[in-house]
Structures are given as C-alpha cells and as structure tokens.
Amino acid sequence: MRRHRIAAIPADGIGPEVISAGLEVLEALAARAGFALDVDHYDWGSDYYKRTGRMMPADGLERLRAADAIYFGAVGAPDLPDHITLWGLRLAICQGFNQYANVRPTRILPGITSPLRDVGPGDLDWLIVRENSEGEYAGQGGRSHRGRPEEIATEVSIFTRTGVSRILRFAFRVAQSRPRKHLTVVTKSNAQRFGMVMWDEIAAEVAAEFPDVTWDKELVDAMTLRMVRRPRSLDTMVATNLHADILTDLAAALAGSLGVAPTANIDPERQFPSMFEPIHGSAFDITGKGIANPVATFWTGAMMLEHLGEPAAAAAMMAAVEQVCAAGILTPDIGGTATTADVTRAVCDAIRGANAPA
C-alpha cells in the first residue's frame, strides 16, 4: 500500500480545529483510495513558545525533514508579537525548506456568492503564484537612532536573478499545465526601476522557453482594477512576495471569503517537504467556538494530495467539498449556520457516497 508521511502542525487559534477536521477528511479519502497516511503530530506554536521560549525546538527542521508534506494550521497569538510567532515557525519553515513557490488558487465554489455582480462559478478561476523567499520579505533592513527625530528605518526588497528566474519558470510551467495556458506577470516597473525592471526582462527571457504559453504584463495597481472589472481575462498570475500577498486577499474576497482560500508553500525541487495551509490565520475571535470554516484546510489538503501523487483523491476531495457547498452546508463566515463538525461530517459522507458501489 502507498504510504505518505504527514507532519501535522496545527499551532494556534483555530489551527487545531481546522487541521483535525482536515485529517478526518484525509483519512476518509485514504480509506477509499487505498493509500495510508502516517501522521506525526507536533505541538509547536505560541503555547509551546510560552513554555519554552521558542516557537519550535532547535532541531525542528531536522525533525520535519523526513515528512513527505507538512499540514499547517495557523500561527499567531493575541498576547505575542506577530513578527516573533511568524518568523519563529512559519517563515522559518518556508525559508529553511526553500519553499520558494507559494501557490494560491481561487475559484468561486458553488453555493458561495461573489461580491462581483454577474460573476459566478466558472467565471473566476485563478491561480496566483507568489514569490515566497525574497523580495519585500527578505528580512533585510534595520533601524538607527531609535525614537529620535532623525530615526531611520530601511526595509529593503531583494531581487536576485536566481530567485526571479526560478519563480517565473515555475509560474510559466503552472500556466502551461492549465487549460488556458496564459500567464500574467505583475510588477511595478514603471515606478521601481531596478528590481521590477529586472523581473520584466527575465519574464521575457523565460517566456521564450514556453512558446505554447501566452503571457501579458500588468502593473500591480492596474491589476486590482482588472481583477474586479475583467476577472475572466485572467488565469495564472505571478507576482512578488508582497504584491501577491495583497492580490491574494483581494482574490479571496472576490471569490466570497478568506475562509475558503488555500495555499501551498512548495519546494519545486522536492529536496525538502512542502507545506500546505489555509490562508486565513488564527482568528482568535472565533477560536474554540466550533464554527471555523474548514473548507480552506480541505482545499489545501487536496493540493497536498496532488503534490503527493494522489490526483484522483485530490479530485475526489474537491468534488466532495463542492457538493457540500452547493447543498448550502456552510459556516457563518459564508452566510450559513453549519458548524465545523457539520461541514466535516458532510464532506466525509460525500466522499464515502461518491465512491460507494452502486
């Protein structure tokens, strides 16, 4: 039997609620599809930090290394600074494992309403590739003369030919694998003359390797307009770390809710395990209430199955999620009254039903 080793890191806020829902659904799929999951559970995160002074143990990355994939919940606590919790766990894993490609699909699921007039399922089917290792998140900068009128702070964006080429190549390859074979390269090369102009130049070079992919360029400000006014004109997009961070929140809102938006932090070279997580974060306001939307975690679970070489199970997961959403079994963030457990049970039933012998 095929076996996949999963490192589960539920971490903070609603993370544990959605990851346990996700694992339940993945187990239901494994049982039908004939593979097994070996799940290692890690209790790292903000509570661990309060006990030990670290978000994860010093040998954390070594321990994760043997996993085939990491299933991650959310990080952040109301009583700890975000930059500590974030850099101590999630970004440490992304950077430590060279997960330079962040992949964020967006679709309007059946039963979910877009705030855009006349835009429904099928009209908005996007995949945003976010550069995940450098750019505005490179961690370069500093502060001098703190608190004085002459205080200086720098936050330096770093763009390397290696980093930009590999993310563009990844994005062209993803675009090539999708039916429309179209990529939109997003920059701000009218105002930012160095890093962004280099992006545009490298895009043109890499495009030559993909003659079957059509591509266009858009400035990031104009991109927000195009996403709202001409959503059907877009398919695959690629942008810097910060630009894509912002565009993917817009994308999630246009598809109805951040509660359904998944993401994958991928090491395309597969030297290290990749990490799969919902975008929504820890959501303290609803932690422990049992109403967190598990759909983003299911969807990222489908991305994880795809990555693990289980495309049929991934498709079955999405079919079950769409069936449940279409039936109106929705959590309050998307206008329903269902609990996390209701949605999870319905998705597990759909998975069992979908493959049941007639």
Nearer to ligand IPM, 91 or 206 (CB): 91
Task: Assess whether 59 carries a catalytic annotation.
Answer: no
Task: Assess whether 49 carries a catalytic annotation.
Answer: no
Annotated catalytic residue: which of 42, 188, 235, 267? 188
| 245 is a site residue for ligand IPM (CB under 6 A) | yes
Q: Mark 40-79 with x for binding to ligand IPM (rule: CB under 6 A) and - for no binding.
A: ----------------------------------------
Amino acid symbol at 266? I
Distance between CA atoms of 50 and 71, rounded to whole angstroms?
A: 22
Instruction: Tell which one of 33, 39, 86, 250 touches ligand IPM (CB under 6 A).
Output: 86
Task: Assess whether 82 carries a catalytic annotation.
Answer: no
Distance between CA atoms of 18 and 16, rounded to whole angstroms?
A: 6
Name the residue with tokens 């490609």: 101
Distance between CA atoms of 176 and 42, rounded to whole angstroms?
A: 37
Q: Which of residues 222-261 bind Mg ion (CB under 5 A)?
A: 245
| 279 is a site residue for ligand IPM (CB under 6 A) | yes
Annotated catalytic residue: which of 137, 235, 333, 342? 137
Task: Assess whether 181 carries a catalytic annotation.
Answer: no
Nearer to Mg ion, 27 or 249 (CB): 249
Distance between CA atoms of 2 and 311, rounded to whole angstroms?
A: 13
CB contact at 8 A, 201 and 91? no
Annotated catalytic residue: which of 47, 200, 221, 289? 221
Least CB distance from residue 134 to ligand IPM, whole Å? 13
Distance, C-alpha 291 to centroid of its chain: 21
310 binds, among Mg ion, ligand IPM, none (CB under 5 to 8 A by kind): none
**Count of chain residues binding ligand IPM (CB under 6 A):** 4
Distance between CA atoms of 134 and 355, rounded to whole angstroms?
A: 43
Least CB distance from residue 255 to ligand IPM, whole Å? 15
User: Tokens for 254?
Assistant: 């246009």
Least CB distance from residue 214 to ligand IPM, whole Å? 28
Give residues with Cβ within 8 angstroms of 31, minimum separation 6: none
> How many residues comprise the chain?
358
Nearer to ligand IPM, 83 or 230 (CB): 83
Distance between CA atoms of 355 and 31, rounded to whole angstroms?
A: 11
| 89 is a site residue for ligand IPM (CB under 6 A) | no
Task: Assess whether 245 carries a catalytic annotation.
Answer: yes
| 342 is a site residue for ligand IPM (CB under 6 A) | no
C-alpha separations of 2 from 39, 271, 309 in Å: 14, 20, 10
Distance between CA atoms of 77 and 283, rounded to whole angstroms?
A: 9
| 281 is a site residue for ligand IPM (CB under 6 A) | yes
Annotated catalytic residue: which of 12, 68, 245, 342? 245
With CB atoms as reference, the residue minimizing the distance to ligand IPM is: 245
Distance between CA atoms of 288 and 282, rounded to whole angstroms?
A: 11
86 binds, among ligand IPM, Mg ion, none (CB under 5 to 8 A by kind): ligand IPM
Instruction: Give, rounded to a whole angstrom, the gap between the first and last alpha carbons of the chain.
Output: 25
Give residues with Cβ within 8 angstroms of 298, minimum separation 6: 21, 22, 25, 317, 321, 347
Binding site for ligand IPM (CB under 6 A): 86, 245, 279, 281
Binding site for Mg ion (CB under 5 A): 245
Catalytic site residues? 137, 188, 221, 245, 249
